[in-house]
Structure 1
């Protein structure tokens, strides 16, 4: 082989080896950065709220009477507050560092049981979502109650004596009709394979209705879902 050809072959091999080294280092760097812990979400740094209203009879069908207050107590529940969730335009913060986690006072938990009828739910909502609101627990739950009171439940869903099949779009339309200012782009119905589970309504930080494209995209797409009766 001519001397010039051997030199060309060696150059090609060196370039290939250099490329392999660069790609190897890049893969190592990507793997190392992926293994780093994610930066914590910052309390108060979010774009809007989602008020999630759970259809209690669906929840209780799944849980039986294990949830004593909501499903086994003397009071029947229809739509109840699942939570008031801080949201980004895409995604949402969770479990923010809100200082010492000694829990919230029992009297505060008890004060919410008429709209969030489960002590464990109240505590969980503070840890997972309220901690990201930038508010103290009492202020967060006061805002949660204000959000609940700002939404009028359509009269046909205040009490439901019999099982019904409904179109999710009809449920949305009923909420829109009952709540001036609420638009189709700011509400989403969620469901499992056969039953309505929740109605989610997007609100600004001062609890005005607003659009929320990502939440709306995740709405139930079934043509019809069941709503178990209020017991």
Structure 2
């Protein structure tokens, strides 16, 4: 009897997980969040320890594309069963110039791109188009030392560089006292739109760190 109860308990625990997975259908979402990572900060906090080639000085990475994420008004889909053939190594490697590494491109496809309803080639092409859509402020590339600044300064710089972008369509995140990412909300045809309430979570630090290019 105890064995039977254990089996029933395991089945009961597994069923909700399967239902959640089955509920995420590719192509069903409301808008995109494009996430841009300040590469020098990522390297200092994470990449150097991993010996990531993204952090090599000759790469000269500034704002890299972390990902283009399908988003619901609240929450987001992930790891969708898209039915698409996975991207090839050459497809992911070709994204390293704006994403840092092909490994990140693969992970982004698996977690987020699979939910876009697009095949890998079209998803990466759209990601590249979204990245080119944004004017990334040049002032941050001119830093010659680590600076401490309010996170709002980074947001203001993006707003100034992109006049059609509004404060409701961008959020700045921080991690371990450093500027982490700039997240910009885009419609499915890549127009600027306001972010959903769960995305609008601005970093409130007045002394966030921003490190210079390698």
- TM class by shorter chain equals 0.7 to 0.9
Residue 80 of structure 2 is aligned with which of 83, 96, 102? Answer: 96
Q: Mark the CA change 1:105 to 1:73 in structure 2 (over 3 Å): closer, same or farther.
A: farther
Task: Quote the Cα distance in structure 2 between the aligned partners of 1:54 and 1:159.
Answer: 17
8 Å contact kept, 1:186–1:216: no
Partner of 1:79: 63
Task: Quote the Cα distance in structure 1 between the aligned partners of 2:212 and 2:61.
Answer: 10
Gaps of 5+ in 1: 1-30
TM-score, normalisation: structure 2: 0.87
Task: Quote the Cα distance in structure 1 between the aligned partners of 2:76 and 2:163.
Answer: 27
Q: State the 1:57 CA deviation.
A: 0.8
TM-score, normalisation: structure 1: 0.81
Aligned-residue CA RMSD (Å): 2.1
What SS is found at the alignment partner of 2:99? coil
Q: State the 1:71 CA deviation.
A: 0.9
Q: Deviations over 1:27-74 (max 9, x none)?
A: xxxx95995221331111000000100010111112216343201362
Superposition misfits of 4+ residues, deviation over 4 angstroms? 31-35
Matched, 1:106 2:89: yes
Partner of 2:4: none
Task: Quote the Cα distance in structure 1 between the aligned partners of 2:131 and 2:123.
Answer: 12
Partner of 1:54: 37
Matched, 1:122 2:105: yes
Residue 214 of structure 1 is aligned with which of 197, 202, 206? Answer: 197
Task: Quote the Cα distance in structure 2 between the aligned partners of 1:98 and 1:163.
Answer: 43
